[in-house]
Amino acid sequence: MKILGIETSCDETAAAVVEDGTRILANEIASQVAIHARYGGVVPEVASRQHTLAIIPVIERAMNRAPVTWPDLGGVAVTFGPGLAGSLLVGTNVAKAIALAHNLPLTGVNHLEGHLYANWLANGTIVFPVLCLIVSGGHSDLVLVKDHGDYALLGHTRDDAAGEAFDKAARILGLGYPGGPAIERAATQGEASIELPRAWLKGSHDFSFSGVKTALLRLVEAGKVSNKDDAAASFQEAVVDVLVTKTVAAAREHRVQQILLAGGVASNRRLRQSLEQNSPITVLIPEPVLCTDNAAMIAACGYFHFKTGKTDGLDLDVVPSLRLA
């Protein structure tokens, strides 16, 4: 079954066609990064206007590349939350219009569940139960996945999400936007020689990244950072250390067979490498382009929704603060 996926939750306008939840036929992304870079972050009103301009050409491009026509499709899957309300509205309304016009079943996908399903597009067979670390701009969630659609949230961030912390640290160091890739680039030139605090929150699977960010800010304010690359490497090391140590601990405690990684921060090479090195069990990580926002992951997740009869009507509404479990 071929599914059209649509993703417009933040600043990427994306459409994809995926077969049987695992095989990508097309994966198109129109990025707004260059536009928002001028403002140092995503401007919600600008984002929704850009989605309106880009969404139809992006869907056409994905369908031409696949190649598929409307009768080839088995359904439409669209992100309905969490995300920016105005941005989500563009994708959901286009998806509803397509479903109505072409008589296709519709399913709303939780963006975080979508990130998780990028793992079904990666190599390797997934054996439940698995543990997934979802690290994006808005979330740092440790999720126990018992089966398709059966999730337990073991831990989440109590303040800044991992990606948000990377973005703020890059701003503090004047490394530009988006912060994650900027920190990673600078870190490759530097040494993790500056000591920064790690919030372990012992006895809990929760995360906290505001302390390490503030510690970095205080050092910069005190004029104690002479080398930005070293500061970037030290910051990246502190965040990766906490993410990896706590993920491995949760995997041991819940006796899972595999660890999955997902979300924009999962494209960070140091995080990927450290998790693979320190995990006693198999680690599956989608390729970087499937970690950051895309519609292939939404189509993959949508396939499993349809398989289990999870469809939505044309009254599907956006839920900007949607949670996973």
**Positions that interact with ligand KG4 (CB under 6 A):** 10, 136-138, 163-164, 166-167, 178-181, 184, 263-265, 267-268, 292-293
The CB-of-232 to ligand KG4 minimum distance in angstroms stands at: 10
Our CB check for Zn ion shows the closer of 5 and 105 to be: 5
The CB-of-115 to Zn ion minimum distance in angstroms stands at: 6
Q: Which does 105 bind (CB under 5 to 8 A by kind): ligand KG4, Zn ion, none?
A: none
Q: Which does 179 bind (CB under 5 to 8 A by kind): Zn ion, ligand KG4, none?
A: ligand KG4
Our CB check for ligand KG4 shows the closer of 105 and 236 to be: 236
The arrangement of strands across the sheet holding 282-284 comes to 150-155, 140-147, 130-135, 258-262, 282-284
The CB-of-12 to ligand KG4 minimum distance in angstroms stands at: 7
The CB-of-11 to ligand KG4 minimum distance in angstroms stands at: 8
Our CB check for ligand KG4 shows the closer of 73 and 186 to be: 186
Q: Which of 178, 293, 294, 301 binds Zn ion (CB under 5 A)?
A: 293
Q: Which of 13, 136, 157, 294 binds Zn ion (CB under 5 A)?
A: 136
Q: Which does 21 bind (CB under 5 to 8 A by kind): Zn ion, ligand KG4, none?
A: none
The CB-of-138 to ligand KG4 minimum distance in angstroms stands at: 5
Our CB check for ligand KG4 shows the closer of 48 and 311 to be: 48
Our CB check for Zn ion shows the closer of 79 and 258 to be: 79
The CB-of-139 to Zn ion minimum distance in angstroms stands at: 8
User: What residues have CB less than 8 Å from 219, skipping those under 6 apart?
Assistant: 194, 225, 231
Amino acid present at 301: C
Q: How many CA atoms lie within 13 A of 103 on its CB side?
A: 1
Amino acid present at 116: L
Residues at the interface with Zn ion (CB under 5 A) = 136, 293
